[in-house]
Amino acid sequence: MPKLPEMSGVTRRIAQARYKEWDRCDLTYIELAEGTSVAGVLTQSKCPSTEVEWCRKALLGGKARALVVNAGNANAFTGARGMEAVQRILSLASNHLDCCEEEIFVSSTGVIGEPLPKDRAEAGLNAAFMAEPCGWTEAAATIMTTDTFPKMATTRAIIGGKTIHLSGIIKGSGMIAPDMATMLGYVFTDATVDPGLLQDMLNAATAKSFNCITVDSDTSTSDTVLAFATGQHDAPALQSFDDPGADAFQAALNDLCMQLAHLVVRDGEGASKFIEIAVMGAESAESAKRIALSIANSPLVKTAIAGEDANWGRIVMAVGKAGEPADRDKLAIGFGGVTVARDGLVVPDYDEAPVAAHLKGDVIEISVDIGIGNSKATVWTCDLTHGYISINADYRS
């Protein structure tokens, strides 16, 4: 687990709101320096949580003073009662910081359909206000639900000869599929970045990371990724992509988001294998991605990988059902760098031994050449095991 450096302008506190019957902290309160820029990418679900709707509105202001994350209750599909709890959090936090409610960002994760208890939210937040600051690991653990380990990552970039830092925490294990964001993820940097530029950069980073992972093809009602730039470092401010250091910052943000996205896939509910699916030779990049996701979301492909079965026929099936341009007689498929099928046929003298050995590992590489164009895409997923069924069958109990 990486050690994240302290960051000026980011103070983390946690508390027990007891949203569920568990003996752990489940409310995270992160205070941000005045003037912090914010950007966000939110679920495109047509049944979003109240928190997502609030964040979408608050992002228009481009500034943030605090983040509140509740674990154990998604507060989605809860009507007016759900909004009452969010409004109480906004009122408490904005009064505590003497700022506008639009500078407070709220996320909740957990069971859908149960209103967030506003009395517990209030008690938990008041306790967090009084709590001692905590480390990154404690904050990452507090936002977890079915996750099996705290997820966090860090990187750095040089702007004007000064080294700035980017760090992030994330939660997500199931109900993960690309749709403008997946899971709850929070990125922090001490750099000074214009909110509009930060939004464009986060959009670009998301397209290459969070929108290229899938665990089970399901998109949450609460999916949120927020980026906060505190402006507490003396490095030159970034106002546009033309500024010196902007490319370096974008590269670092891309790297951080990719690290966080991969951690989510590695902790897919019941997962035992991390799978990379690279599609090339497609008619367009969009087509390549849709084909890759068709493979990644196929239960038949995912269970074959879980069983360490080199059933490349299931890859053919997933390519064919994607609805994208493809030619059966030009298709090539490989596992772990070993080509198993080419030109629509199994390769001559095919030896399954090296493929079988590759599938026994915990990192699996699948390559597919469509053979009709020059475009490519890569997505990441995990296998599908009995553990996924057990976790989700018992989720509310």
Q: Is 171 marked within a binding site?
A: yes
Residue 161, classified by CB atoms within 10 Å of its CB into exposed (0-12), middle (13-18) or buried (19+), is exposed
Q: What is the CA radius of gyration of the chain?
A: 22
Residues classed as catalytic: 182
Scored b (16 or more CB within 10 A) or e, 98-129 reads ebebbbbbbbbbbebebbbbbebbbbbbebbe
Scored b (16 or more CB within 10 A) or e, 2-28 reads eebeebebbebbbbbbbbeeeeebbbb
109 CB-near residues (< 8 Å, 6+ apart): 69, 70, 71, 72, 73, 74, 143, 145, 171, 184, 220, 222
Cβ atoms of 96 and 217 closer than 8 Å: no
Instruction: Kindly state the DSSP code that residue 77 receives in the 8-state scheme.
Output: S
Q: What angle do CA 10, 133, 28 make, to 5 degrees?
A: 75
| Cα pseudo-dihedral 294, 296, 300, 305, rounded to 10 | 150
Q: Is 145 marked within a binding site?
A: yes
Q: Is 206 marked within a binding site?
A: no
Residues belonging to the binding site for substrate are 145, 171, 182, 269, 392, 397
Q: Which residues fall in the annotated binding site? A: 145, 171, 182, 269, 392, 397
